């Protein structure tokens, strides 16, 4: 990371040290955006996103999930899905303390999108002004072989931390070939996923599709129609069930999985900024009334 940032850390109840990052604007922040990254990813791959928002006066913060980036833990593994929820709860609690009386937005990409959506559905927070989700892992764009899933469930009963290679094809991230090259060369990116992690996230994605009508916060949901990793059709299925006054759903035609790294990235970031400004304006009007 070349952009100035501060780090923080904390110990989880199961004694793992998780590493967080904050990017600050040069003036007191107008708001804070809390990022939850995707599977095999880390916060260092979102520096340009952080730069975009800090230039507009927002703080940008996130942490490397357990088993990811510079955080401790077996690569690509979690004891269970609820543990990921508790890690996010601790992160959000610290950011609420740090950025008191500042509008907060929760932003999740890919697996992080799954986690963010389920965090809202499970914890029902009222302290976010809005939620941004890109390319969420609600369902995959491909169907894992049934025999592989069945064997995974069986193995998971006896060896829950058993890991396999993930099937992520770096070419599916972006139309920009440099993104795939950098991804494959990044020492903090891994290609492992445990049975517990896969089944937990996969099941939570399906549960979110069922619970979508209960989503209660404003949400900007975006997905590329050419995403070969996570299903844009599942995102659409989720979106049409959310109350229409809360949801803005955008399908980015022919774009791949990492919209923030694809050839549409500046348009994407501008769209996010406009939506955030609209949310802040609505909150100001509400406060004045």
CATH classification at residue 271:
3.40.50.1820
- Does a structural domain hold residue 162? yes
Determine the pLDDT at residue 151.
47
- Beta-carbon contacts of residue 263 (< 8 Å; ≥ 6 apart): 174, 175, 176, 255
- Does a structural domain hold residue 1? no
Q: Are 65 and 114 in contact (CB under 8 A)?
A: no
Quote the number of domains for the chain.
1
- Tell me the C-alpha distance between 272 and 198, whole Å: 29
Provide the residue-wise pLDDT of the chain in tens; the chain has 289 residues: 667 899 999 999 999 999 999 999 999 999 999 999 999 999 999 999 999 999 999 999 999 999 999 999 999 999 999 999 999 999 999 999 999 989 999 999 999 999 999 999 999 999 999 999 999 999 998 766 554 554 455 455 545 664 666 667 899 999 999 999 999 999 999 989 998 999 999 999 999 999 999 999 999 999 999 999 999 999 999 999 999 999 999 999 999 999 999 999 999 999 999 999 999 998 877 777 6
- Does a structural domain hold residue 281? yes
Question: Can you name the residues that pair with 133 across neighbouring β-strands?
Answer: 108, 221
| Per-residue DSSP letter, 261 | G
Determine the pLDDT at residue 267.
98
- Does a structural domain hold residue 28? yes
> Strand 58-63 and strand 17-23: pairing?
antiparallel
Determine the pLDDT at residue 163.
60
The closest alpha carbon to 180, from 282, 117, 80, 258, belongs to: 258
> Strand 247-252 and strand 163-165: pairing?
unpaired
- Does a structural domain hold residue 216? yes
- Does a structural domain hold residue 14? yes
- Tell me the C-alpha distance between 208 and 122, whole Å: 10
Determine the pLDDT at residue 147.
42
CA 43 → CA 20, 87, 91, 140, 182, distances in Å?
8, 15, 14, 22, 14
3-state SS string for 140-188: ECCCCCHHHHHHHHHHHHHCCCCEEECCCCHHHCCCCHHHHHHHHHCCC
- Does a structural domain hold residue 27? yes
- Beta-carbon contacts of residue 289 (< 8 Å; ≥ 6 apart): none
For 152, the token pair is 């995974």
Range of the domain at 160: 6-288
């Amino acid at each position: 990371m070349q952009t100035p940032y501060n780090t923080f850390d904390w110990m989880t109840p199961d004694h793992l040290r998780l590493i967080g990052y904050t990017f600050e604007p040069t003036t007191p922040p107008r708001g804070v955006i809390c990022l939850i990254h995707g599977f095999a990813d880390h916060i260092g791959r979102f520096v340009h996103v952080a730069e975009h928002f800090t230039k507009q006066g927002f703080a940008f913060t996130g942490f490397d999930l357990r088993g990811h980036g510079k955080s401790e833990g077996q690569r690509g593994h979690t004891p269970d899905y609820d543990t990921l929820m508790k890690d996010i709860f601790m992160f959000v609690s610290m950011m609420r303390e740090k950025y008191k009386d500042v509008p907060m937005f929760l932003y999740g990409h890919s697996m992080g999108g799954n986690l963010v959506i389920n965090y809202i559905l499970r914890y029902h927070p009222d302290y976010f002004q809005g939620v941004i989700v890109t390319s969420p892992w609600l369902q995959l764009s491909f169907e894992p072989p049934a025999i592989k899933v069945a064997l995974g469930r069986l193995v998971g009963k006896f060896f829950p931390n058993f890991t396999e290679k993930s099937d992520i094809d770096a070419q599916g991230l972006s139309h920009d070939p440099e993104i795939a090259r950098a991804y494959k060369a990044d020492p903090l990116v891994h290609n492992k996923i445990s049975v517990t992690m896969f089944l937990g996230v996969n099941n939570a994605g399906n549960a979110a599709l069922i619970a979508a009508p209960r989503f209660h916060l404003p949400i900007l949901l975006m997905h590329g129609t050419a995403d070969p990793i996570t299903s844009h059709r599942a995102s659409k299925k989720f979106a049409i069930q959310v109350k229409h006054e809360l949801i803005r759903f955008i399908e980015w035609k022919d774009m791949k999985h990492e919209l923030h790294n694809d050839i549409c990235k500046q348009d994407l970031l501008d769209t996010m900024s406009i939506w955030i400004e609209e949310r802040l304006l609505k909150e100001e009007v509400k406060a004045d009334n």
